[in-house]
Amino acid sequence: KPGEHKHSKEPSSLPCMHLAVVACGDRLEETLIMLKSAVLFSNRRLCFHIFAEDSLKPEFEKKLKDWPSSYTKKFEYNIYPITFSVGNAQEWKKLFKPCAAQRLFLPVILKDVDSLLYVDTDVLFLRPIDDIWHILKEFNSTQLAAMAPEHEIPKIGWYSRFARHPYYGTTGVNSGVMLMNLTRIRNTQFKNSMIPSGLTWEEMLYPLYQKYKNYITWGDQDLLNIIFYFNPECLYVFPCQWNYRPDHCMYGSNCKGAEEEGVSILHGNRGVYHDDKQPTFKALYEVIRDFPFEDNLFQSLYYPLQSKFLDTVHTLCGRIPQVFLKQIEKTMKKVYENRVIVYLGANHRY
């Protein structure tokens, strides 16, 4: 009946979801595949904030403009140079991987952005960003960022065995997928180990780095762990299926959330998209990379994925294909149903 399917707000009319990534060196392709996975499955409009070396900017612009208009209308983007507002820029740039420390400065640079999802270049979305964006509404009054644990099992976790600095909780947190309320970060005075009174985010970064630089291994992620060790009430911890890494399956399956719901966000750290150590991660990367935008999702994405997974069943992560396939199958069904409903609605006459 006319009017029966009215929604309070159409997804396109809602404010966009902000996604930030930092790309340096040889990370151009990885970043584009990550952005592609975001656009393929998300419902609401996206705003991409791409921080890149100057040499990569023309290539990003060229590639993004080549995408079909049915997809480019789902997002807008800005490309920013790599900049550090406090301390020694060269020192920050070389911290851990090239430019990775840029993420620490997002609250300072993106002054007009209220909330943001930051991801590493080696991340793939297997469901709409809308779903992790909703977690912002679950923050209590003191929480201003969300991350997943670095490990599920303390006795084999890196921080619990090797860290020489303070870290959050029993296993530390992984910063490859980080949801942030930037407004709260900018307005908070953070407890720290340097002065008794609180410091703002920007005031704290360089002194904190100077204090702990001889003890940190994982660069900016270690600094975030130190910050949230002193300010645990500021962090919301989301489950491992939102930041699923090789560690979750290479020592046996240890991410219960992924076993129940499937992987929501895949994080192929350790370079696994580009070698043969974890063929399941590589299979997902290659299938999304090779998917022709306008093709049928099941025919050109899901079926090739199933077929590639058959070749990985002898591997540690390949023994649990349902963990990798469950969420992406569910997401594609929704995308397909939405398109059919839109198509039927457009052609329906009362």
pLDDT at 98: 67
pLDDT at 347: 57
Parallel, antiparallel or unpaired: strands 17-23 and 115-119:
parallel
Q: Is the pLDDT of residue 2 over 80?
A: no
User: Which amino acid, one-letter code, is at 303?
Assistant: Y
The predicted model gives 328-347 an average pLDDT of 76
pLDDT band at 195 (very low <50, low <70, confident <90, very high): confident
Distance of CA 322 to the CA centre of its chain: 21
User: What is the CB neighbour count within 10 angstroms for residue 290?
Assistant: 11
pLDDT at 341: 66
Q: Is the pLDDT of residue 8 over 60?
A: no
pLDDT at 283: 96
- 296-314, pLDDT tens digit by residue? 888 999 999 999 999 999 9
Read off the pTM: 0.92
The predicted model gives 211-220 an average pLDDT of 86
Q: Which residue, among 75, 12, 84, 86, has the nearest Cα to 49 in the 3D structure?
A: 75
pLDDT at 344: 61
pLDDT at 5: 37
Contact 56, 21 (CB under 8 A): no
Q: Which residue, among 201, 192, 39, 190, has the nearest Cα to 129 in the 3D structure?
A: 39
What the chain holds in terms of domains, given with CATH numbers, is 17-238 (3.90.550.10), 241-345 (no CATH)
The predicted model gives 66-90 an average pLDDT of 92
Which ranges of the chain does DSSP label H, i.e. alpha helix?
Answer: 28-41, 57-66, 69-72, 89-94, 106-109, 129-133, 158-162, 182-187, 201-212, 220-230, 256-261, 279-290, 297, 303-310, 321-347
pLDDT band at 4 (very low <50, low <70, confident <90, very high): very low
- 132-147, pLDDT tens digit by residue? 999 999 999 999 999 9
Whole-angstrom distance, CA of residue 212 vs CA of residue 143: 24
